[in-house]
Amino acid sequence: MYDQPRANPSLAAMTFDQMLERVRYEGAYPTRERAEEAVRTVLAALGRQITGDERVDLAQCLPVEAALTLTAQIPDTEQLTGWGFVKDLAARTGGTPATARWDTGAVLAVVSRLAGPDLLARILHQLPGGYALLFGQAELRQPQPAA
């Protein structure tokens, strides 16, 4: 689709171990293993929501292990709202919505830094309402008028 390769919008490369430590700090997780569990479950859930060029570009910004988790998922036919994303994650993990929201915020805060503002804006434009807050951004969308 593109004749020229696109530049990676990420400001600095990060290893998977560095990503886990950053998520561990963001989420105040007691262990690296708990941070890794959050990263894998949230990225798998995100991989079921993002499609197209945004999915490919985001995978390029992530460490290889994280990118594989994201892209191993088959996108759902119906996109979830931000709150639906959190509830679905809670149901899949057997946790509470509060824990799922915490995990989502910790992981997506790091993902948003890796993606950079331009790619993050494209991702948020593709997704239904409610995701900006999950990525630690202000929700600036206007409600769509009823048809």
CA distances from 43 to 5, 7, 18, 63, 110 (A): 25, 22, 16, 12, 11
How much is the pTM? 0.85
Tens place of pLDDT per residue across the chain (147 aa): 444 444 444 445 799 999 999 999 999 999 999 999 999 999 999 999 999 999 999 999 999 999 999 999 999 999 999 999 999 999 999 999 999 999 999 999 999 999 999 999 999 999 999 999 999 988 765 555 555
The predicted structure's pLDDT at residue 59: 97
Distance CA 100, CA 83 (A): 10
